[in-house]
């Protein structure tokens, strides 16, 4: 275990905690006070850190994802579990049925289950958009849906390029959490770009190396 801790950079006490919480499978017993840990334990540790630190999951949710990875269920199932675990829990009760119907019309033809967390989150946005007196701009919503489809294709390609269920689940969790942040970042950059193209203003392009940008 001391070696596993050294290789992974994770303290022994933390590894023991993961073992107790059944996040990490026990090593192969080789003596009264000795166990062997292999490559699979290292990979599992990386998945656990991804779930807890990047995904911000509770230990219980992380265990749910790990159980799904270890199960013989189809990949789409463990994908769904991982996706749900890192998505905000939205209570569909009390949600405006019109907003839900609006999102269902928007993604008509998509195979989306009723409790997909994204369906509910999108309906919540439509609800807020309407409550704030923004015109429900169908065109804006449709173009978002088309772009989301492109991104989801890229997500699935990334996941499928991984070799093992473990690596796939890791990529689902990391990709779902980081993908949100990546997209919203690139969207802001793209907004500045499109805005500058349409409404030219004096502009300093990014060309200097990062070091020089820090000087006043």
21: helix, coil or strand? coil
Contact status, residue 69 vs residue 169, Cβ threshold 8 Å:
yes
| CA 151 – CA 159 distance, rounded (Å) | 12
CB nearer to a second copy: pick between 26 and 186:
186
> Which listed residue (114, 164, 165, 166) binds a second copy by CB under 8 A?
114
Residues with Cβ within 8 Å of 38's Cβ and at least 6 positions away in sequence, in order, are 27, 28
Q: List the Cα angle 91/176/138 in 5-degree steps.
A: 65
Half-sphere exposure of 151 (CA within 13 A, CB side): 16
Judged by CB under 8 A, the stretch of 9-17, 29-37, 56-64, 172-180 that binds a second copy is 172-180
Site map 36..75 versus a second copy, x via CB under 8 A: ----------x--xx---x-------------------xx
Applying the rule CB under 8 A, the residues between 3 and 22 that interact with a second copy are none
Tokens of 7: 């290789």
Contact status, residue 123 vs residue 95, Cβ threshold 8 Å:
yes
Instruction: Based on the shown chain and the rule CB under 8 A, indicate whether residue 26 belongs to the binding site for a second copy.
Output: no
Applying the rule CB under 8 A, the residues between 136 and 155 that interact with a second copy are 137, 139-141, 143-155
Site map 70..89 versus a second copy, x via CB under 8 A: ----xxxx-xx--x---x--
Judged by CB under 8 A, the stretch of 1-9, 16-24, 31-39, 205-213 that binds a second copy is 205-213
Residue with tokens 């970042």: 185
Q: How far is the CB of 192 from a second copy (least distance, A)?
A: 5
């Amino acid at each position: 275990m001391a070696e596993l801790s050294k290789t992974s950079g994770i303290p022994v006490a933390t590894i023991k905690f993961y073992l107790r919480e059944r996040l990490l499978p026990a090593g192969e017993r080789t003596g009264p006070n000795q166990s062997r840990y292999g490559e699979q334990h290292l990979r599992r540790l990386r998945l656990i850190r991804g779930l807890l630190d990047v995904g911000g999951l509770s230990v219980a949710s992380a265990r749910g994802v790990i159980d799904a990875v270890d199960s013989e269920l189809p990949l789409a199932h463990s994908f769904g579990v991982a996706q749900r675990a890192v998505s905000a829990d939205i209570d569909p009760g009390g949600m405006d049925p019109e907003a839900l119907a609006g999102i269902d019309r928007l993604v008509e033809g998509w195979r989306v289950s009723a409790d997909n967390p994204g369906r509910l989150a999108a309906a919540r946005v439509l609800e807020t958009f309407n409550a704030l007196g923004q015109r429900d701009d169908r065109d804006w919503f449709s173009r978002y849906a088309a772009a989301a489809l492109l991104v989801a294709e890229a997500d699935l390609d990334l996941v499928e390029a991984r070799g093992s269920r473990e690596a796939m689940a890791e990529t689902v969790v990391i990709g779902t959490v980081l993908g949100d942040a990546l997209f919203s970042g690139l969207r802001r950059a793209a907004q500045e770009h499109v805005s500058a193209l349409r409404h030219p203003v004096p502009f300093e392009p990014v060309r200097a190396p990062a070091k020089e940008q820090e000087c006043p």
